């Protein structure tokens, strides 16, 4: 490590890490907290037909902005860009909390205001997530990133489980508005730490914003997210709306690729994908999001409907998954730092994740809460092997000047994979559930369970409660079998992860911020020189 690296990384890394962990927690936790507050929000504002946009607007804003924030950090310096995203997130949080109070122009537009401000919050959250990972990459050389990124992966695991718990508590004992206001004191602490204690190396580059590329990418991402959100739900997959969005996404992606090949500072440098390791880990990240987020979406459904757990209790029942991921992430990160070797971990993680999905195919109406807790431990351990390792490999495959773009691309692909996974597995679940119910109750009986909508997994809970015990057991069996069928599909995507990881070439982790050596298929990018390092900000 050079003297400059030591000056930047050592004196304040632990303090800065605390601020970064708070920022990461804000971005990850916010969406999970809001999901439990939605029933109260709908009760106050109405707008049942549009309430899903409270979540969709946040996801859309995050997906659109992630690659752009990453590139802006590469161009203008990560500290100022990241602090701007934190400040914007806090403004969005305050505005969300004030929605419908009349302070912003009228209480009758509460739902519309909330959706708009959630989109603003999502735009900022994209900067938080990619900024944290890129800043860790700036502060710490690749050899030592594992242990710090392991902690960040642990934070993500905690947020996935803690979100519903915290959201339920806030909604029950305070107000749904505090699901947003809680961000303000936490964000203020993070800002104070990062403004005063975070010092990053600054690289000089030509400041040419690729506005055309950014616009085309935003349109393409928006179309893709809307396809995954609306397809099979609001519109049929073969409807004119979905087909039109697919055509729009394809055309804008082709146009985006053509533009990126010609501009001097592309928003997403396509030559990154010429590097074999980066290309492989990008696909692995997409599949990880696809299998993990897509399938895990059905665990709370199983717990709450089949096992009769409350929303808060279902969060507690996922604690084994969180602990499995958290402990493994920390251990793997420290092991990578100590040994400098990482190739085996995504292979092991992929095998364990596929094994976890296979075990979850055993779910049935008689599965106990203890059994489910033991089942999800293996899935959590697999996640722990993969979460931070995939980001580490992506960052180790590129030059320091492209760290933000690489981090943004990796985060974006995992997010888009999750969106596609939720959509595809949702369609699989709905089809299997209809078939199962039709086989047991006939077409008219199956329709009576799902015709009201808004129930858990398409069920009407009131209709389910009125059934005689024997028929209720049949209905719950149909639901459990449909959920277990989703995990059969997830196995296919999970199995591809270790197969692809096998072809990753283990490039030694650097002890300084020198450019990576070339890999097969990636010699071109290794020939480019690093931007000249300027004074530490």
Alpha-carbon distance of 87 to 103, in angstroms, equals 21
Average pLDDT over residues 143-160: 68
* Of the candidates 492, 143, 115, the residue with the CA atom closest to the CA atom of residue 340: 143
Give domain 275-506's CATH architecture: Up-down Bundle (1.20)
Using CB atoms within 10 Å of the CB of residue 142, give its burial: 0 to 12 exposed, 13 to 18 middle, 19+ buried: buried
Average pLDDT over residues 300-326: 76
Q: Does residue 247 surpass a pLDDT of 90?
A: yes
Q: Does residue 452 surpass a pLDDT of 50?
A: no
Alpha-carbon distance of 470 to 431, in angstroms, equals 23
Inter-CA distances, 126 with 82, 180, 333, Å: 10, 17, 24
Higher pLDDT, 324 or 106: 324
Q: Does residue 532 surpass a pLDDT of 70?
A: no
Judged by average pLDDT, the poorest of 280-284, 382-386, 421-425, 445-449 is 445-449
Q: Tell me how far apart the terminal alpha carbons of the chain are, to the nearest angstrom.
A: 19
Q: Does residue 149 surpass a pLDDT of 70?
A: no
Helix (H, G, I), strand (E, B) or coil at 176: coil
Mean pLDDT score of the chain? 76
Query: Binning pLDDT at 50, 70 and 90, where does residue 251 land?
Result: very high
Average pLDDT over residues 163-171: 70
Q: Does residue 480 surpass a pLDDT of 50?
A: yes
Give domain 1-207's CATH architecture: Up-down Bundle (1.20)
Q: Label each residue of 458-498 as H, E or C.
A: HCCHHHHHCCCHHHHHHHHHHHHHHHHHHHHHHHHHHHHHH
pLDDT at residue 35, as a whole number: 65
Among 3-12, 370-379, 524-533, the range of highest mean pLDDT: 370-379
Q: Does residue 527 surpass a pLDDT of 50?
A: no
Under a CB-based contact definition with an 8 Å cutoff, are residues 171 and 7 in contact? no
Residue with tokens 């999905």: 357
| 275-506 and 1-207 share a CATH fold | yes
Helix (H, G, I), strand (E, B) or coil at 20: helix
Under a CB-based contact definition with an 8 Å cutoff, are residues 214 and 267 in contact? yes
pTM across the whole model: 0.73
User: Would you tell me the crossing angle of helices 276-296 and 369-396 to the nearest 10 degrees?
Assistant: 160
Cα-based torsion angle of the residue sequence 54, 55, 59, 62 in order, rounded to the nearest 10 degrees? 50
To which H or E segment does residue 92 belong?
A: helix 78-98
Judged by average pLDDT, the poorest of 93-97, 226-230, 373-377 is 226-230
Provide the residue ranges of all domains of the chain, joining segments of one domain with +.
1-207, 211-262, 275-506
Alpha-carbon distance of 490 to 311, in angstroms, equals 24
Alpha-carbon distance of 533 to 60, in angstroms, equals 35
Number of H helices, E strands in the chain: 20, 0
pLDDT at residue 521, as a whole number: 46
Average pLDDT over residues 250-264: 86
């Amino acid at each position: 490590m050079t003297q400059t690296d030591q000056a930047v990384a050592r004196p304040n890394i632990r303090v800065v890490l605390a601020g970064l962990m708070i920022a990461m927690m804000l971005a990850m936790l916010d969406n999970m907290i809001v999901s439990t507050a939605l029933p109260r929000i709908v009760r106050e504002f109405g707008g049942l037909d549009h309430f899903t946009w409270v979540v969709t607007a946040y996801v859309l804003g995050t997906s659109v902005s992630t690659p752009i924030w990453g590139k802006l950090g590469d161009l203008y310096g990560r500290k100022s860009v990241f602090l701007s995203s934190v400040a914007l997130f806090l403004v969005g949080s305050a505005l969300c909390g004030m929605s419908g109070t009349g302070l912003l122009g009228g209480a009758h537009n509460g739902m519309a205001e909330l959706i708009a401000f959630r989109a603003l919050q999502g735009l900022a959250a994209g900067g938080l997530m990619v900024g944290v990972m890129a800043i860790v990459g700036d502060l710490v050389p690749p050899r030592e990133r594992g242990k710090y990124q392991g902690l960040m992966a642990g934070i993500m695991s905690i947020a996935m489980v803690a979100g519903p718990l915290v959201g339920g508590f806030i909604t029950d004992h305070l107000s749904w508005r505090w699901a947003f206001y809680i961000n303000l004191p936490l964000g203020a602490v993070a800002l104070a730490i990062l403004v005063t204690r975070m010092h990053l190396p600054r690289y000089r580059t030509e400041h040419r914003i690729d506005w055309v590329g950014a616009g085309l990418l935003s349109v393409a991402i928006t179309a893709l997210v809307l396809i995954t959100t609306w397809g099979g739900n609001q519109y049929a997959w073969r409807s004119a709306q979905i087909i039109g969005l697919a055509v729009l996404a394809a055309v804008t992606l082709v146009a985006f690729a053509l533009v990126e090949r010609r501009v001097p500072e592309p928003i997403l440098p396509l030559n990154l994908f010429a590097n074999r390791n980066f290309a492989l880990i990008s696909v692995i990240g997409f599949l990880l999001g696809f299998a993990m987020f897509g399938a895990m979406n059905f665990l709370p459904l199983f717990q709450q409907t089949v096992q009769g757990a409350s929303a808060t209790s279902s969060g507690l029942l996922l604690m084994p998954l969180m602990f499995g991921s958290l402990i493994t992430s920390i251990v793997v990160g420290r092991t990578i730092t100590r040994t400098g070797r990482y190739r085996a971990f995504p292979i092991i993680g992929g095998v364990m994740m596929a094994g976890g999905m296979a075990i979850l195919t055993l779910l049935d109406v008689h599965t106990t809460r203890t059994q489910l807790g033991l089942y999800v431990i293996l899935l959590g351990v697999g996640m722990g092997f993969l979460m931070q390792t995939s980001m580490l490999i992506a960052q180790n495959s590129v030059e320091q000047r492209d760290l933000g773009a690489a981090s943004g691309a990796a985060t974006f692909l995992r997010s888009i994979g999750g969106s596609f996974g939720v959509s595809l597995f949702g369609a699989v679940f709905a089809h299997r559930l209809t078939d199962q119910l039709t086989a047991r109750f006939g077409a008219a009986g199956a329709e009576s369970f799902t015709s009201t909508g808004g129930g858990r997994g398409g069920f009407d809970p009131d209709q389910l409660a009125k059934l005689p015990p024997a028929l209720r057991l049949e209905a719950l069996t149909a639901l459990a079998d449909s959920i277990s069928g989703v995990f059969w599909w997830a196995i296919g995507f999970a199995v591809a992860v270790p197969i692809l990881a096998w072809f990753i070439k283990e490039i030694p982790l650097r002890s300084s911020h020198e450019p990576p050596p070339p890999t097969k298929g990636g010699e071109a990018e290794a020939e480019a020189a690093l931007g000249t390092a300027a004074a530490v900000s």
